[in-house]
């Protein structure tokens, strides 16, 4: 069984050194709980923002100390304590590196997104947990990304589990940590010039 948690994966990364160490506490909240409803709505609004490729707005919904990581998955023997390649990630980013990716999208040099992809993020199986850090929630979700590139190439589909930390900042929630565990060891997409 995989024993790696989002906080452990984040701790193993140099870019995760300043990220929150929040970990889940207790059982998931009832679906009718106000905190669950607020976190679920945040995820859906984020999905629409990413689908519309409003990346500058998306950056505003991230905390300054965000850690955004998608480890490389590997197939391991039954009973192994890990399913990721240690020290290897498709993405391992902080607020600065994410902002540089967004800035590049706004230039004529972002040829991987010219013409832009057609994106659809499907978010489901949302569970919300209280965390060990005040004003932070742990949110599990399943995400399926459909991505179409032009008229000739086959579309790409990426399926993943996300473990997010949403932090209360004033009246709003902001994303403080995202650990993305893709469901395939080999990604079948032309590039990763997108966000999950």
| 77-91, 147-161, 164-178 — most confident range | 164-178
pLDDT-derived band at 73 (thresholds 50, 70, 90) equals confident
| Mean pLDDT (whole number) for 157-162 | 94
Burial class (CB in 10 A: 0-12, 13-18, 19+), 146: middle
Task: State pLDDT tens for residues 85-124.
Answer: 566 666 899 999 999 989 987 776 665 666 778 899 999 9
pLDDT-derived band at 83 (thresholds 50, 70, 90) equals low
Task: State pLDDT tens for residues 27-44.
Answer: 999 999 999 999 999 999
Report the pLDDT value the prediction gives residue 26, as an integer from 0 to 100.
96
Report the pLDDT value the prediction gives residue 148, as an integer from 0 to 100.
87
Q: Measured in whole angstroms, how far is the alpha carbon of residue 32 from the centre of its chain?
A: 24
Q: Is the pLDDT assigned to residue 131 strictly greater than 80?
A: yes
What three-state secondary structure class fits 117?
A: coil
The answer to whether 28 and 168 have CB atoms below 8 angstroms apart is no
The answer to whether 113 and 105 have CB atoms below 8 angstroms apart is yes
Domain boundaries in the chain? 6-182
Q: Which CATH class is domain 6-182?
A: alpha beta
Q: Is the pLDDT assigned to residue 79 strictly greater than 60?
A: no
Question: CA-based Rg of the chain, rounded to a whole angstrom?
Answer: 17
Q: Is the pLDDT assigned to residue 64 strictly greater than 60?
A: yes
Q: Is the pLDDT assigned to residue 21 strictly greater than 70?
A: yes
| Mean pLDDT (whole number) for 2-11 | 71
């Amino acid at each position: 069984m995989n024993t790696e948690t989002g906080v452990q994966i984040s701790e193993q990364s140099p870019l995760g050194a300043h990220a929150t160490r929040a970990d889940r506490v207790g059982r998931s909240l009832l679906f009718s709980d106000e905190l669950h409803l607020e976190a679920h709505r945040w995820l859906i609004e984020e999905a629409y923002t990413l689908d519309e490729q409003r990346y500058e707005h998306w950056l505003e919904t991230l905390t300054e100390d965000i850690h955004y990581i998608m480890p490389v998955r590997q197939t391991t023997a039954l009973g192994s304590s890990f399913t990721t390649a240690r020290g290897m990630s498709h993405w391992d980013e902080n607020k600065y590196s994410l902002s540089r990716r967004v800035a590049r999208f706004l230039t004529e040099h972002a040829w991987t997104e010219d013409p832009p992809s057609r994106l659809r993020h499907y978010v489901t199986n949302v569970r919300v947990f209280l965390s060990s850090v005040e004003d932070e929630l742990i949110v599990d979700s399943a995400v399926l990304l459909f991505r179409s590139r032009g008229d000739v190439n086959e579309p790409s589909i990426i399926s993943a589990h996300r473990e997010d930390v949403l932090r209360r900042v004033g009246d709003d929630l902001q994303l403080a940590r995202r650990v993305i565990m893709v469901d395939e060891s080999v990604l079948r997409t032309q590039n990763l010039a997108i966000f999950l």
